[in-house]
Structure 1
Amino acid sequence: MKILVTGSSGNVGRHVVNELSRLGEEVVAAGTDVEKLGKMFDGGVSVAQFDFMRPETYSNALRDIDRVFLMRPPHLGKPEDIYPFIDSLKEHSIRLVSFLSLMGIEKNPIPPHHRIEKRIEASGIPFVHIRPGFFMQNITGLHLKEIRERDTIFIPAGESRTSLIDGSDVGLAAAAVLHEPERHMNSAYTITGPEAMDYYQAAKVLSDLTGRKITYGKPGILKYRNYCINERGLERKFANVTAALYLMTRMGTAEAVTDDFFRLTGRQPKTFADFVMENLKTFER
């Protein structure tokens, strides 16, 4: 049987595909652009047309599938958008669904991940929730513009600390649980980096390794939200969810450091300095 990977072109999903392939699993990379997926994986895995908002794509994507990596696309803000696919998983007798959730989500009902977790659990499908801390890739993604153009980390995290994790490490952890479903079913793992750091420390690492003076802007939540909407042109729902996550971060929800990654993979997670060194060219102006 095969493993279906949703979000397979993303920062985590592509690593899930590659790590599962390395483990000898048959993988189906799912997405809306199968031509792009075929090129990305160089024909090394099967690809399937899939769209959460088009239920007619479910059956073909789930053919001969017994395990699923489930990731909510960022543009789908309502958990209800994912529910029809979860119901379809039950109909197809899936052995295990590994859902990419969020660190601390079990105590935070605001982001959509909380209700998606509850829906999966209520369905009776064997599950593993992968709950990572904030991705290091947020620095090279959402927050890169301000670093490149203003030499500033513009994140409303206050004085709080965050145990940043590399997306490749999250992908490796997800692959590990999907490879051994019976061992991990009906559990949750919180995947973090090796240390909790505040964004003053992150700015110092960036400064030391890029050779530029990069500072931590530390905007307030409302200033950040308004900036995202009015200056960056981000969707209001996306800006609201992001602001809510950083509000929770200010309360200390993202600072825990766990050994779950090591227990799943036998490896130590990457440090933030490792990540910056691997992406130095990305930070150039």
Structure 2
Amino acid sequence: MTGATGQVGLRLVEELNDARVAVTAMVRAEAKALDLPPSVDHVVATLDDPPPAEVLREFDRVFLMSPSHEEQAELEMGFVDALVTAGHRPRVVKLAADGFQKPDCTVRFKRSHRQIAMHLERTGLPITYLTPNLYMENLLSATDTIRERV
């Protein structure tokens, strides 16, 4: 899981750990692993310096937390490219903690989410998108609009 020590990521890691699901957290520095529950494995890497291909091939699912800044979309797309280059096809679970924008009643993904979604789509990797319940009602009612724009 990328973003495993952030506000949303850490809560998700804790929930998965409590459910006895094996989790490996990606942390930027060894010291950040101290924030994780003791039974959670970790790997030291970043979006722009991902784990080696042999490590990436170990995972059936990769949870990607949404970038908090538009500029991070490029880094996340590079990480996705590393997954593809590794020759492994894990399911990518894309989490958008901030949902999407809804200006003027027109539902649309934030630009960074849209860029990443389009990039993921081009890779052919299996993808699941998650967003908080707060946004789910709008997301479900706008499915056709979102598909047209992505």
Give the counterpart of 1:70 among 61, 64, 71: 64
Q: TM-score, normalised by structure 2?
A: 0.72
State the TM-score, normalized to the length of structure 1: 0.41
Secondary structure of residue in 2 paired with 1:68: strand
What CA distance in whole angstroms lies between the structure 1 residues aligned with 2:10 and 2:127? 20
Alignment identity in percent?
26
For residue 52 of structure 1, what is the aligned residue in structure 2?
47
1:82 maps to which of 73, 76, 79: 76
Query: What are the equivalent positions in structure 2 for 1:22-171 lying under 5 Å apart?
Result: 22-37=18-33, 39-55=34-50, 57-59=51-53, 61-75=55-69, 77-90=71-84, 91-101=86-96, 102-104=98-100, 107-108=107-108, 110-132=110-132
* Cα contact 1:82–1:116 (8 A) shared by 2: yes
Deviations 1:31-67 (A, max 9, x none): 1022221x22242111111111224x34365251111
For residues 67 and 9 of structure 1, the distance between their equivalents in structure 2, rounded to whole angstroms, comes to 18
Taking a change above 3 Å as real, the CA distance of residues 10 and 19 of structure 1, as seen in their structure-2 partners, is same
Q: Give every structure 1 segment of 4 or more consecutive aligned residues whose post-TM-superposition deviation is greater than 4 Å.
A: none
Aligned residues: 134
Q: Which runs of 5+ in 1 are unaligned?
A: 133-190, 193-253, 261-285
| Structure 2 SS opposite 1:6 | coil
Q: For 1:64, what is the secondary structure of its paired residue? A: coil
Deviation, structure 1 residue 72? 3.7
How far did residue 122 of structure 1 move? 1.8
Bigger radius of gyration among the two: 1
2:5 is equivalent to residue 9 of structure 1: yes
Structure 2: gaps (5+ residues): 141-150
Question: What pairs up with 1:216-227 in 2 under 5 angstroms?
Answer: none
CA displacement at 1:24 relative to structure 2: 2.3
